[in-house]
Amino acid sequence: MMKPFSLQTVLNHRKRLEDIAQHRYLEAKKTLSIIETKLDDASHALTLFIAESAQLQQEGIGITELIRHEERIAAQRQNIQAIKKNLAEKKQLVEKEQQNLLLRSKEHQILERLKETQNKAWHAYLNKQEAAMLDEIATTRHEPDLF
């Protein structure tokens, strides 16, 4: 029996794929965190714009100034919507990368177990061969010479 195919090369490749998947997952999470911060900042800015506009209206500002504030508020709301859309896309990306990482991790673990099983079977085969050789040596030594 020949020694079975060594899985170490495959395991090394799978480990690299797992490391790449982990890196991509962490990058996606980092990007998601940055976008969440941008959304919080934009929401806070919108609140400030609205409060400022309300205060200026109470103080009595000109119509052109009021229109400018309303346009700024509308632009900020559009910005928030764009950030929310981007955030939803990044959440999907994080989920996809997480699933990819889980898959790569499971594949690596399965191959690791397969390697262990293969090695145990190979060592059992070698032990059996060694025992057979020792038995043959023992019987050859104890046989009386027929000559």
Per-residue pLDDT of the chain (147 residues; tens, 9 = 90+): 566 667 788 888 888 999 999 999 999 999 999 999 999 999 999 999 999 988 888 888 888 888 998 999 999 999 999 999 999 999 999 999 999 999 999 988 888 898 888 889 888 998 999 888 888 888 887 766 555
Cα 70 from chain centroid (whole Å): 43
Task: Calculate the CA 77 to chain-centre distance.
Answer: 33
Q: State how far the Cα of 27 lies from the Cα of 39, in Å rounded to an integer.
A: 18
With contact defined as beta carbons under 8 Å apart, do 86 and 36 qualify?
no
Q: What is the pLDDT of residues 7-49, one digit of tens each?
A: 788 888 888 999 999 999 999 999 999 999 999 999 999 999 9
17's tokens: 């794929």
CA distance 55 to 69: 11
Structure tokens at 39: 């959304």
In this prediction, residue 1 carries a pLDDT of 58
Q: What is the pTM of this model?
A: 0.70
Nearest to 71 by CA among 44, 49, 45, 55: 49
Determine the pLDDT at residue 145: 58
Q: What is the pLDDT of residue 38?
A: 96
- What stretch of H or E contains 5? none
